[in-house]
Chains A and B, each alone.
Chain A
Amino acid sequence: MTNPLTDSAHAHHAEGRTNSASDQRHSLQSCPYPTWIYGFITILLYASVWSLVRLPESVEAARSLKIAEHYLGDGQLRNAAQSFKKTLSIDPTSAKARIGMALSLLSIDSEQVDDQAVDYLKDLALSASDRTKLRSAAPIKYHLYFSTRDDS
């Protein structure tokens, strides 16, 4: 809130500070900043700088994810897996990349990579639509992993 003293009576009444504000009105300099505000500004600067330093990595991970999803949509499974891997090398906790990676690997018709695919899904809360997609891509022996409530 900003309150210019255009009409001092109004402003003082609004803030309930008749004496202090009118006394200070005639001083030549603005009131000083409290010391703690410099600490607060330092925290803001630190948070901003940290964010900007981390930004290129996050952007690269997000771009790789987009490319991977594009490949997956086109059915270029090995390229998709490569791009998902790149995202996961930057951010191993990305749920989208882990699910995408698992989906790519399960869709590749090779038993060798199926176990790896399931590993990517460990400790991940899957939505019903993710389960359905994974189930349709996975060999029958993995269907139990991706059963939905409707199946029970």
Chain B
Amino acid sequence: MLDALATPSETRTRPILEVKGLKAYYQMNYFGVQREVRAVDDVTMTISRGEIYGIAGESSSGKSSLIKTIAGAIRPPLRVVEGSVKFDFGGKTLDVYADPARMKAARWQHLSYIMQGSMNVLNPVRKVKHAFHDFAYKHMSLGEGDFRQRLVSHLERIGLDPRVLESYPHQLSGGMRQRLTIALATVCEPEFIIADEPTTALDVLVQQDVLALIKDVQRRMGSSIIFVTHDMTVHAAIADRIGIVYAGRLVEEGPTLDVFQQPQHPYTAHLIASLPRIGDLRKRKALPGKPPNLSEPPSGCRFHPRCPLAIDICKTENPPLETRGTGRVACWRAGEVEAA
């Protein structure tokens, strides 16, 4: 089914994505006043084949800038200042910022996106079938008839009636539209999918179905997924590993179960402890302070003004992201964080 399955086994063990020392800043120049917003600041991570990697973080933490930079979908004023993003598709390395022509060809065929607002993806005045044509037709090198057949069988697998192709977006429910955006992103059977808050706008009752669908598609195609959401319960349900982003930096990363049971960064510990659950009435503490302003981030560890464990070194020196146990963490007091 996939090219990747036919390649020699050693290429399959190589990570599909390697991000090294990535820095992407918004650089603005208004009337001679320079402003710099460090949205992605020194991020290094790898993602293996067939893995679902969850990125958690609050709004304006830079998580959207991070995935845009990974996907090579950035525009000024956001610029890559340093670092590299390398994909490994079918045994060939693709450097996102060194080879724009090949990157363009790889889009949608190898690398696709599931976007948040399904209404913004689908053109409201055109039938759904046109969206598939626009997005996928030229990547699939099939004739019109074969392409149509492929669409129908793909929609059936995803649990959608092929008749939706003839409808307009407003005639479909929110859940169906989100399924369509998933169908759009997976029709070329890409090796890598970036999903940006795919369930946030959905009703609670539909959310689980959409998550199960994403998991099912991922399992069948063996794709890797970066799954971005601020909802930790969604990460608990679907992610293999979680990376926590705070103020443009990766502060903790590890296998989902370990992160939930033994968070090593105080921010992660707070995020998990503040989750309310039915049947538990203990008072939850809210984190004091406000998210940092990325154009003037706090010195040292960016979390220190809100951190209950902050000591002197936190105010002056930025902790490096170091391996600890099964994951990595950037905290001077990582060993002393208690799971609440």
A and B from one complex: no
